[in-house]
Amino acid sequence: MAFVTRQFVRSMSSSSAASATAKKIVIKHVTVIGGGLMGAGIAQVAASTGHTVVLVDQTEDILAKSKKGIEESLRKVAKKKFVENPKAGDEFVEKTLSSMSMSTDAVAVVHSADLVVEAIVENLEVKNELFKRLDKFAPEHTIFASNTSSLQITSMANATTRQDRFAGLHFFNPVPVMKLVEDTPGFVVNRLLVPYLMEAVRLHERGDASKEDIDIAMKLGAGYPMGPFELLDYVGLDTTKFIMDGWHEMDPNNPLFQPVPSMNKLVAEKKFGKKTGEGFYKHK
């Protein structure tokens, strides 16, 4: 997405069939729905590239945690970016934070948004309910986007009246570090990555290797920065399960999309990984 590097101008046709003149939409105001790791990261990058950002979540406690995480992340970025000029780094952090605000009322803030990016639970019904509600209050020119990593964009766009102003923007975690954003159907990375992660779990379930050995093997043998079990805990087992459930529902006979019992058991026990303190591994 262009706003991760610069403010951008997007041309699109008027919703009026009688109008042949293209409208140019300048993205200045961004609303991000969801204050988790992904949403907070998206908000941080948008604010640090000159946009006014409102981060929305259900409670003030969640937003306070999000703000703290964003500030810590910004200071890490500033430390690397402004090695020779710490004062400039402090100014960068303060300027970015001043461009951000928090809210628990999505409806109240979308009226001024040029772009709304959704980064909530990977559940089509929940996402559609959100988009359908916001569609009634957002201006006509506002572009809606989902950070979904697996769900069909068309299915979400059809819950609104702005199918021509709806996009898929799949960021990668951690957003301030990862340069890739997918906006094409199919989500190439997850289509390759998730089956690999599930096969690693199946390998462990069969007793072929311990999860520790599998992680070490992929780091040393394939040069990956994290092993599959480490990555699953980082991404979130609940998120991965949502992806697998959706794919299995669409293609139940595909062997790559079959349920993985040990992961499903951990999710049922609310052991989602790093964010809950325990998943395949225990986290402090």
| 230 a catalytic residue | no
Q: How far apart are CA 3 and CA 167, in angstroms?
A: 14
> Which of 48, 147, 150, 190 is the catalytic position?
190
| 140 a catalytic residue | no
> Which of 73, 122, 146, 182 is the catalytic position?
182
* Amino acid letter for position 108: A
Number of Cβ within 10 Å of residue 243's Cβ equals: 24
Question: Omega of the bond prior to 174 within 30 degrees of 0, cis?
Answer: yes
* Amino acid letter for position 104: T
Query: What are the structure tokens assigned to 236, written together?
Result: 């979130």
Q: How far apart are CA 265 and CA 274, in angstroms?
A: 16
* Amino acid letter for position 243: I
| 29 a catalytic residue | no
> Which of 149, 150, 204, 230 is the catalytic position?
149
Is 198 in contact with 244 (CB distance < 8 Å)?
Answer: yes
Q: CA gyration radius for the chain?
A: 20
> Which of 29, 51, 170, 204 is the catalytic position?
170
| 253 a catalytic residue | no
Residues 6+ apart with CB under 8 A from 157: 144, 163, 166
Report the DSSP pairing between strands 22-26 and 115-118.
unpaired
Q: Which residues are catalytic?
A: 149, 170, 182, 190
